Structure formats: structure tokens, C-alpha cells
Amino acid sequence: MAGKEQSLVVGRQVGRRARRPPDSRQDAGATNCVRYPAAGMLPTSQHFSLEDLTTATLLRLQSPDGTNRLTQACVRSLTEAIESLSLTPSSLTPSSLTPRPLILIGNSKFFSAGADLSEIAALTGPAAFEFSKIGQRLMNAIERFPAPVYAAIEGYCMGGGLDLALACHRRIASPRAILGHRGAALGLITGWGGTQRLRRLVGKSCALAMLVAAEKLHANSALQIGLVDAIADNPLAEAVRRIENSAQTGP
């Protein structure tokens, strides 16, 4: 089984080979934004890596401290990458304009710890409003992605990281995953649409417990209320399995 799972996740690391084309663009507000891909190449950024799997594109969040915080630069880079991928037809079906399914993943300890609180504390009112808008743009880009988007969740999935997972179409968690929105304990509330997506997904009562009482949920509790779709020892392999089954059986 281990060999099979390894074959699923060994992708083509193309980020290192991507070069900035002459007409590439860069957001003035981010110092390491996505490089727009040439034909057949994927965008690249210091905030994530992209790999081609057999039936999907894998987006792996990364950061120097391993917490995968959604800084302003990270959010901008992710938005540009996902919007670019949404316009990239799958090479598996050349006649189709639909891109490959997308899988978002972090590391074994953190899917994402959410927004960078030190950044938020330094924002003025207008800057905070702008940050909320770019966050909403990212979540909407994921939600409206024209192919299935899976969140493969291991470790902590908190705050804005939970918003990111909520925007995905499906969520697969490891038994050790912990999900929550702790903003209320810090006097904060998400501005990225998580309040609405969470309520629609799990109902008003459970959403209030998570948002107002700042409750954290372990994977089993998250499964019981419908916050995640399944629990698997290897969430990535399970997401790939479901995508492959869907490709064989149709929507």
C-alpha cells in the first residue's frame, strides 16, 4: 500500500524550472508573487509548491516556520496561481477546457495557522478592509474553480486556514487534524467569508459554537457535524483516490 501511495504523490516538481516570461506581472503589494507560467509550466512562489499528479494538481502550502500562515503576500500569490490554473485546460483531455482537479495540502503539523496576527495588528482601517477583499477574492477563486478542489488536512487548520478549507469543495482530514476559528478569543472575526460558508455547511448552532465560543474540533467531531467529508490516515492519497474514481465513473 505504501508503494501505491508513494506513486500517487510523486509528482513532477516543475516550480524550479519555471522562468518568468517577458510579459509576466507582479503585484506591487507582494515581494514574491506568482510567476505567470509559460506554456506547459505551473506558477511558482515561495509560499507554495505545485506538482503535477496523474489526475490532479497538488498545491502544497509552505513557509519557513512550517505554520503556513496566510500573509498578505501569500494570499496574493495563491489568488494569482489559482486564477491562472482555472484557465489552464487539463492535458489529459485536450478537447476539454476544464482544468485538472486541485488538491490543497500543508504539512503533517499545519494545514495552515491562518492569517499572520502580527500583520493584522499593524493594519490601519483602510488596509484591513483591503486585506479582507483580497482574502475574499482568494476564497471565491477556490469556490468557483471549474474542477473539484480538495483540502487534504493534517495537523492544525485554524482561522483563515479554516476559511481556505471551507472554500474547497471537499475536505479530507487525518485523525490528528484539529480545526477551529479562534478569532473570537482574540477579539477578531474573519472577513474572508468563513462565517457564511461555515453556517451553510454545519448549521447555525455548530457554527456559532466554533465562531463565537472559539471551539476547536478534532477530526472525529468535525466529521460528525459535516465539517469534513472523511477521515483518512493519508488524506492526500484519499483525495487522489476519490478524484480517480470520479474520473472513471463520471460526475
The string of pLDDT tens digits covering residues 139-194 is 999 999 999 999 999 999 999 999 999 999 999 999 999 999 988 777 778 889 99
pTM: 0.80
Look at residue 169 and tell me if it is in a domain.
yes
Four-CA torsion 134, 136, 138, 143, nearest 10 degrees:
-170
* Count of domains forming the chain: 1
Mean pLDDT of 5-20: 37
Look at residue 172 and tell me if it is in a domain.
yes
217-249 pLDDT, tens digit per residue, is 999 999 999 999 999 999 999 999 999 998 877
Q: Please check the confidence at residue 195 and state whether its pLDDT lies above 80.
A: yes
Question: Cβ–Cβ contacts within 10 Å for residue 125, how many?
Answer: 7
Look at residue 1 and tell me if it is in a domain.
no
Look at residue 5 and tell me if it is in a domain.
no
77-100 pLDDT, tens digit per residue, is 999 999 999 988 766 555 556 899
Look at residue 67 and tell me if it is in a domain.
yes
Look at residue 188 and tell me if it is in a domain.
yes
Q: Which domain holds residue 50?
A: 27-249
Look at residue 73 and tell me if it is in a domain.
yes
What percent of the chain is predicted at pLDDT more than 70?
78
CATH code of the domain containing 205: 3.90.226.10
Look at residue 189 and tell me if it is in a domain.
yes
* Contacting residues for 209 by C-beta, under 8 A, at least 6 apart: 215
